[in-house]
């Protein structure tokens, strides 16, 4: 069966396309492991993609703000990437060469070194690893352990470095590890309750104390690994001054500093490498995702004086991926030559500013943060405390019912993962009903779901939270950095599904899966950015105020889901007076 034929105009009616779509999802559910993640929250069957647009087997189109978890720096099927791949295929060059030298590899290394921070590029070695970023993390750990003769590692709370054993040890959810965990500075949920420069200073002092106190229980480590912006941890940028402090602390104590740039690299944060914002030159850089131009590739780049490895100390059958190297060379050069990092900085700043305006309007948005085109929107319980059990159960029940044949019992039971359902039912109506009827929230007004019914809150309001009727300023905190509102993974999952219904793909992340993450390609146009923000705003409104057309102000879309590439005409949506039909998750193609 040719899936692509079923979605081309005129070859099949919508019922046939829908049957193909549902059939593939059912077979995936029956055959694939319970470990799958994105497929649970995003039940789409991509058959074609270009730029920022994905088309599913059911004919619907979506704006992709996931971009392969940051892998697709240039979006889907960019012409320079396709040309580079075709050139290798047409040349007759071998596709599998282990770690042998080839012209394709030589060109990739040359371009990669051209982009590195000068302090590293002049004295660097590169090790090609297995094709995933987690293997590069493992390689970095092995390298610094071999170079220093020490074994322990320093990592930070909220970190995510991969899924293999050593990488998981250094990630935020680890158990029984040989990695010491340090506080990562952040404003909204500062571990010291102060935020800002003071919070970052306390975090740095804690790190110094752990290293210098002979009774801290942490012997001198082999290395420190950190993310310049924590991605899965909730899109938390490291303060530049703190990052410089970490560089100084590690340098003074002869501890190699490892920068995990798997997701932040290749222009994502507004600089080619995120460490460049602070002027820091790490000893080791872990690189993957975008460096392969959408194909699997992972390397570590490190100061040559650390190269204490013996031959074969780190190997892998698939570390000579010629197609990925060619695609990566084309991507690195395109980002550099077209100054896409600068573009990401400018556009990302504008998007953050607009999202901060949305946060001021809706109390369910606790914080907006990010750097460049790596943006996070933290969703919180507006009234300042988590809902009572029956209210949470109502929201969970509403989400459990989403998805039809593509769903599986229990898929939404654990919202601490990637969360979400299929978005095929009218999630917002059920969630809003649960909010109004089971939680005693009153909704409405600029405060969103801000008011609590005092009769249902006999225990009183949390410190700093004022009761209200859902109007402007209904639920406010005296100091949001010292009293951040509880994370709301259920509301975040509902927003994700409302985005999907509107033709927008977003990811959830953060400590409690309550952060809506935006990772658009660096080639996103101004029109597409406006469409992303509009659809996200509509989704937030749908969850916070109830179904569109039932009391909530409507925002018209600025771009049609089926017309989102640069070369396609702009066709704005018209205001809707009611819901989409049941099961409609995006606009029809064509």
CA distance 379 to 490: 9
Instruction: Of 579, 365, 406, 583, give the one whose Cα is nearest residue 492.
Output: 365
Q: Is 417 helix (H, G, I), strand (E, B) or coil?
A: coil
Q: Which long-range CB contacts under 8 A does 433-437 form with residues at least 24 apart? A: 433/394, 433/398, 434/391, 434/394, 434/395, 434/397, 434/398, 435/391, 435/395, 436/546, 437/394
**d(Cα 107, Cα 216) in Å, to the nearest integer?**
47
Nearest to 402 by CA among 415, 390, 391: 415
Q: What pLDDT band is residue 95 in, cutting at 50, 70 and 90?
A: very high
DSSP character string of 562-574:
T--STTS---PPP
**Residue 340, pLDDT above cutoff 80:** yes
pLDDT in tens, 297-311: 999 999 999 999 999
The per-residue pLDDT for range 428-487, each reduced to its tens digit, is 444 443 333 333 333 333 333 333 333 333 333 334 333 333 333 333 333 555 578 999
Q: What phi and psi values does residue 158 have, to the nearest 5 degrees?
A: 85, 0
Higher-scoring residue by pLDDT: 397, 98 = 98
Over the chain, what is the mean pLDDT?
Answer: 79
- List, for residues 180-201, the tens digit of each pLDDT value: 899 999 999 999 999 999 999 9
**Tens digit of each residue's pLDDT (9 = 90 or more) over 114-163:** 999 988 999 999 999 988 988 999 999 999 999 999 999 999 998 888 87
| C-alpha–C-alpha distance, residues 590 and 587, integer Å | 9
Is residue 458 helix, strand or coil?
Answer: coil
What is the distance between the terminal CA atoms of the chain, rounded to a whole angstrom? 22
The mean per-residue pLDDT over the stretch 273-301 comes to 97
CA nearest neighbour of 420 among 486, 535, 509, 502: 509
pLDDT, residue 442, reads 33
- Closest of 506, 524, 518, 539 to residue 38, by C-alpha: 506
**Residue 64 burial (C-beta neighbours within 10 Å; 0-12, 13-18, 19+):** buried
Average pLDDT over residues 378-392: 69
pLDDT at residue 474, as a whole number: 33
Tokens encoding 574: 């018209």
C-alpha 45/C-alpha 55 separation (Å) is 8
DSSP 527: H
3-state secondary structure of 410: coil
Residue bearing tokens 């029984």: 176
Which of 163-167, 170-174, 438-442, 484-488 is most confident?
484-488
Q: What are phi and psi of 568, to 5 degrees?
A: -105, 145
Cα–Cα distance for residue pair 309/302, rounded to 1 Å: 12
Residue for token pair 């549902």:
22
CA distance 264 to 277: 12
**Closest of 79, 76, 67 to residue 330, by C-alpha:** 79
Confidence band (pLDDT; 50, 70, 90) for 573? very low
**Helix ranges (DSSP H) in 191-268:** 196-212, 240-252
Instruction: Quote the CA–CA distance of 474 and 497 in Å, as a whole number.
Output: 26
Buried residues in 336-365 as b, exposed as e (16+ CB within 10 A) = beeebbebbbebbeebbeebeebbebbbbb
pLDDT digits (tens, 9 = 90+) for 499-512: 999 999 999 999 99
* pLDDT, position 41: 87
In contact, 263 and 70? CB cutoff 8 Å: yes
CA–CA distance, 533 with 352 (Å, rounded to integer)? 10
Position 1 scores a pLDDT of 38
The pTM (predicted TM-score) of the whole model is: 0.78
User: 370-394 burial string, b = 16+ CB within 10 Å, else e?
Assistant: bbbbbbbbbbbbbbbbebeeebbeb
Among the listed residues 51, 88, 55, the one whose alpha carbon sits nearest the alpha carbon of residue 72: 51
Query: In the predicted model, what is the mean pLDDT of residues 311-318?
Result: 88
Tell me which H or E stretch contains 124: strand 124-128
- pLDDT of 471 reads 35
- Could you count the other beta carbons within 10 Å of the beta carbon of residue 3? 15
- For 39-89, the pLDDT digits (tens) are 888 999 999 999 999 999 999 999 999 999 999 999 999 999 999 999 999
């Amino acid at each position: 069966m040719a899936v692509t034929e079923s979605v081309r105009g005129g070859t099949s009616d919508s019922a046939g396309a829908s049957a193909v779509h549902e059939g593939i999802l059912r077979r995936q559910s029956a055959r694939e492991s319970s470990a799958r993640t994105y497929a649970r929250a995003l039940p789409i069957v991509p058959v074609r993609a270009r730029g920022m647009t994905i088309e599913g087997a059911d004919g619907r189109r979506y704006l992709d703000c996931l971009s392969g978890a940051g892998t697709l720096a240039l979006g889907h099927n960019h012409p320079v990437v396709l040309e580079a791949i075709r050139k290798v295929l047409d040349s007759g060059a071998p596709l599998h060469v282990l770690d042998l030298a080839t012209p394709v590899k030589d060109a990739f290394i040359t371009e990669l070194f051209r982009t590195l921070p000068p302090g590293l590029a002049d004295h660097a070695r590169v090790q090609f690893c297995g094709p995933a970023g987690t293997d590069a993390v493992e390689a970095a750990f092995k390298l610094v352990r071999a170079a220093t003769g020490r074994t322990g590692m320093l990592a930070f709370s909220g970190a995510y470095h991969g899924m293999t054993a050593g990488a998981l040890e250094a990630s935020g959810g680890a158990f029984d590890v040989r990695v010491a965990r340090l506080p990562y500075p952040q404003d909204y949920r500062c571990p010291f309750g102060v935020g800002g420069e003071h919070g970052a200073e306390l975090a740095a002092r804690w790190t110094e104390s752990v290293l210098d106190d002979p009774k801290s229980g942490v012997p001198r480590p082999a290395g420190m690994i950190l993310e310049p912006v924590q991605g899965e941890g909730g899109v938390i940028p490291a303060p530049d001054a703190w990052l410089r402090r970490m560089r100084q602390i590690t340098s003074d104590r002869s501890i190699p500093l490892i920068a995990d740039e798997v997701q932040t690299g290749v222009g994502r944060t507004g600089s080619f490498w995120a460490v460049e914002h602070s002027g820091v030159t790490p000893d080791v850089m872990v690189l993957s995702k975008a460096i392969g131009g959408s194909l699997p590739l992972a390397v570590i780049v490190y100061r040559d004086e650390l190269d204490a490895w013996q031959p074969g100390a780190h190997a892998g059958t698939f570390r000579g991926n010629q197609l990925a190297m060619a695609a990566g060379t084309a991507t690195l050069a395109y980002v550099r030559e077209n100054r896409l990092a600068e573009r990401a900085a400018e556009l990302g700043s504008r998007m953050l500013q607009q999202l901060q305006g949305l946060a001021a309007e809706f109390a369910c948005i606790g914080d907006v943060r990010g750097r460049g085109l790596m943006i996070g929107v933290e969703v919180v319980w507006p009234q300042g405390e988590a809902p009572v059990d029956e209210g949470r159960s109502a929201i969970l029940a509403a989400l459990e019912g989403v998805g039809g044949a593509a769903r599986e019992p229990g898929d939404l039971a654990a919202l601490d993962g990637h969360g979400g359902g299929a978005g095929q039912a009218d999630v917002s109506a059920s969630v809003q009903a649960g909010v109004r009827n089971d939680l005693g929230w009153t909704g409405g007004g600029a405060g969103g779901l801000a008011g609590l019914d005092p009769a249902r809150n006999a225990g009183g309001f949390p410190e700093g939270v004022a009761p209200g009727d859902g109007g402007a300023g209904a639920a406010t905190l005296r100091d949001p950095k010292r009293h951040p509102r509880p994370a709301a993974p259920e509301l975040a999952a509902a927003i994700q599904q409302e985005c999907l219904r509107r033709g927008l793909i977003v990811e959830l992340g953060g400590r409690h899966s309550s952060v809506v993450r935006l990772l658009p390609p660096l080639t996103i146009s101004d029109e597409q950015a406006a469409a992303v923000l509009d659809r996200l705003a509509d989704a937030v409104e749908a969850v916070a105020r109830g179904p569109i057309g039932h009391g909530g102000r409507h925002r018209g879309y600025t771009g049609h889901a089926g017309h989102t590439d640069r070369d396609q005409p702009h066709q704005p949506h018209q205001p809707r007076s009611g819901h989409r039909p049941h099961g409609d998750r995006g606009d029809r193609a064509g």
